[in-house]
């Protein structure tokens, strides 16, 4: 009887923890919507989303250039991080000797724990002057922000992808090798396809980190509200806009920054829905193929 009571208390404790987590998220989203909707109502939905000018001094609140800047920074960083991260994960899981893994695995984990301000400071002191000297302009640019984000999301992609590859049953590898496939053919045709749902999860996590990053982007992106015509043009991300102006914003300007947060929430939700759909579709295809 006592054991049943203990199990019941554990179940209720776990339920309360899970429910409180969901409740906190719902309350945060509700607060953001409550503070942000007045700006969208006053400015107009399409004027706010597709407006080209952000000038609170004269009441102009258009965030389209910042939406484009956020997507371009995130997309460029993923374009660089995914091939590097997956190559590193495959190397660590299937190729590297154990002595090298003992060195590289803690190194990757250490990179994941470095504060974003350190990455931003590195970019400000070394990367921005390098780009200014070799490519012209101010050095503060979408490319600089994307490079910093690439380094920041690499540990996530590497760690999660490596775990996904290692989780594949050894029977798959042994069966492929027994049929005469080489090690690289086994990795390409058996192990990597089987680990693909976990790889997609790593990309989702990296994408979320890239979209939500603020401080490092502020330090190297240039923070100019414009649609960049080149990867070496300065841009301003949505998160940077909130962080830069929230300290002195009042009235409708204050509400407009919360409305920017609403747009960020919807962007992340849309991207996660697409990514999870691809994850589920690929997982079903793989399972169906094995069955």
**What residues contact 242, with CB distance under 8 A and at least 6 apart?**
214, 257, 260, 261
* Beta partners for residue 54, in sequence order: 61
Residue 258 in this model has a pLDDT that exceeds 90:
yes
Distance CA 159, CA 88 (A): 9
Residue 291 in this model has a pLDDT that exceeds 50:
no
The mean pLDDT of 137-145, rounded to a whole number, is: 89
The model's pLDDT over 55-71, given as tens digits with 9 standing for 90+, comes to 888 888 999 999 999 99
Mean pLDDT, the chain, rounded, equals 86
Residue 158 in this model has a pLDDT that exceeds 80:
yes
* Beta partners for residue 61, in sequence order: 54
Confidence of residue 284 (pLDDT cuts 50, 70, 90): low
* Beta partners for residue 222, in sequence order: 235
Confidence of residue 272 (pLDDT cuts 50, 70, 90): confident
**What residues contact 156, with CB distance under 8 A and at least 6 apart?**
85, 112, 202, 205, 206, 209
The model's pLDDT over 85-123, given as tens digits with 9 standing for 90+, comes to 999 999 988 888 888 888 888 888 888 888 888 999 999
The mean pLDDT of 73-79, rounded to a whole number, is: 92
Percent of all residues in the chain with a pLDDT value above 90, rounded to a whole number: 29
The model's pLDDT over 192-243, given as tens digits with 9 standing for 90+, comes to 888 888 888 888 888 888 888 888 899 999 888 888 888 999 999 999 899 8
Q: What is this structure's pTM?
A: 0.85
The model's pLDDT over 36-48, given as tens digits with 9 standing for 90+, comes to 999 999 888 889 9
For the chain, the maximum distance between any two Cα atoms, rounded to a whole number of angstroms, is: 76
Do residues 238 and 110 make contact, with C-beta atoms less than 8 angstroms apart?
no
Q: Between helices 251-290 and 64-90, what is the axis angle to 10°?
A: 30
The mean pLDDT of 126-135, rounded to a whole number, is: 90
Distance CA 209, CA 205 (A): 6
Distance CA 203, CA 158 (A): 10
Confidence of residue 289 (pLDDT cuts 50, 70, 90): low
Q: What is the CATH number of domain 64-290?
A: 1.10.3720.10
Residue 31 in this model has a pLDDT that exceeds 90:
yes
């Amino acid at each position: 009887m006592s054991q049943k009571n203990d199990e019941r208390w554990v179940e209720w404790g776990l339920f309360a923890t899970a429910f409180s987590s969901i409740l906190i998220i719902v309350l945060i989203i509700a607060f953001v919507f409550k503070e942000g909707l007045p700006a969208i109502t006053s400015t107009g939905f399409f004027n706010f989303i597709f407006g080209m000018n952000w000038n609170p001094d004269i009441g102009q609140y258009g965030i389209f250039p910042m939406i484009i800047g956020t997507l371009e920074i995130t997309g460029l960083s993923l374009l660089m991080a995914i091939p590097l991260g997956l190559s590193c994960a495959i190397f660590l899981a299937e190729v590297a000797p154990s002595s090298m893994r003992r060195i590289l695995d803690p190194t990757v984990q250490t990179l994941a724990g470095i504060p974003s301000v350190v990455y931003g400071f590195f970019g400000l002191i070394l990367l921005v002057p390098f780009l200014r000297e070799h490519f012209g302009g101010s050095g503060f640019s979408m490319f600089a922000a994307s490079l910093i984000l690439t380094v920041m999301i690499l540990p996530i992609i590497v760690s999660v992808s490596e775990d996904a590859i290692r989780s594949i049953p050894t029977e798959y590898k042994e069966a492929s090798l027994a049929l005469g496939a080489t090690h690289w053919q086994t990795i390409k045709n058996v192990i990597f396809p089987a680990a693909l749902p976990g790889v997609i999860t790593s990309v989702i996590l990296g994408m979320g980190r890239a979209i939500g990053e603020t401080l490092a982007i502020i330090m190297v992106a240039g923070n100019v509200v414009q649609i960049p015509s080149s990867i070496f043009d300065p841009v301003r991300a949505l998160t940077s806009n909130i962080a830069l102006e929230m300290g002195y914003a009042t009235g409708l300007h204050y509400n407009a920054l919360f409305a920017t947060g609403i747009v960020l929430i919807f962007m992340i939700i849309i991207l996660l829905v697409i990514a999870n759909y691809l994850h589920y579709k690929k997982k079903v295809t793989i399972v169906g193929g094995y069955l």
